[in-house]
């Protein structure tokens, strides 16, 4: 890991390295995913040079953020202190509660939450959006707690005292 003293940029070798480097790479991904509009996924049509219309899926940025943050949390989990460990357990319980509430309220008899295309009724689609927004809020709160935890554990000072 190289740190340029004249800038706040950190050059991290992504071909491998220490646990700290891996954590910082994942933290970087999480932060990058928070710098966009959180919106649901959708299909867009694009006309090709040969005149054909191609459907392109634009991913749900909420789910991208949630997945990248969950990966960071799993990386850090073996190092969590008691406070963070307790918060992560509570977080997971809340996620399971809103997931169960959605599955109980939606019409398809499923055990997992599927993409929007699997739900026919407008009510189910509204329930799905509500679920995803509640889940996003829980993960934003988790991000705040992980940031506090990383500060408590001096992760930011470990990369060269840039802060």
Picking from 98, 138, 140, 116, the residue whose alpha carbon sits closest to that of residue 59 is 116
pLDDT score of 3 more than 50: no
Range(s) of the domain holding residue 107: 2-158
Give domain status of residue 147, yes or no.
yes
Residues paired with 43 in a beta bridge = 57
C-alpha 153/C-alpha 20 separation (Å) is 12
Give domain status of residue 67, yes or no.
yes
pLDDT score of 112 more than 60: yes
Give domain status of residue 37, yes or no.
yes
Give domain status of residue 76, yes or no.
yes
Query: What DSSP letter does each residue of 68-107 carry, written as one string?
Result: HHHHHHHHHGGG--HHHHHHHHHHHHHHHHHHHHHHHHSS
Q: What is the pTM of this model?
A: 0.79
Give domain status of residue 73, yes or no.
yes
What per-residue confidence (pLDDT) applies to 116?
79
C-alpha 7/C-alpha 102 separation (Å) is 46
What's the mean pLDDT when you consider all of the chain? 85
Give domain status of residue 25, yes or no.
yes
Give the three-class secondary structure for 128. helix
Give domain status of residue 102, yes or no.
yes
What per-residue confidence (pLDDT) applies to 162?
43
pLDDT > 90: percent of the chain: 51
C-alpha 11/C-alpha 160 separation (Å) is 11
Q: What is the mean pLDDT of residues 26-51?
A: 90
Q: Structurally, how many domains does the chain consist of?
A: 1
Give yes or no for a contact between 161 and 1, defined as CB atoms under 8 angstroms apart: no
Look at 2 and 64; give whichever has higher pLDDT. Answer: 64
Give domain status of residue 150, yes or no.
yes
């Amino acid at each position: 890991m190289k740190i340029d003293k004249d800038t706040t940029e950190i050059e991290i070798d992504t071909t491998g390295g220490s646990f700290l480097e891996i954590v910082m790479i994942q933290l970087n991904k999480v932060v990058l995913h928070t710098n966009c509009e959180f919106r649901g996924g959708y299909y867009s049509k694009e006309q090709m040079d040969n005149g054909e219309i191609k459907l392109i899926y634009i991913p749900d940025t909420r789910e991208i953020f949630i997945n990248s943050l969950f990966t960071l949390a799993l990386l850090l989990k073996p190092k969590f202190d008691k406070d963070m460990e307790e918060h992560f357990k509570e977080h997971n319980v809340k996620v399971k509660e809103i997931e169960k509430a959605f599955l109980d309220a939606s019409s398809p008899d499923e055990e997992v939450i599927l993409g929007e295309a699997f739900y026919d009724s407008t009510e189910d689609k509204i329930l799905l959006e509500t679920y995803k927004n509640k889940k996003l809020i829980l993960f934003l709160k988790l991000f705040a707690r992980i940031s506090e935890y990383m500060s408590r554990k001096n992760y930011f000072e470990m990369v060269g005292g840039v802060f």
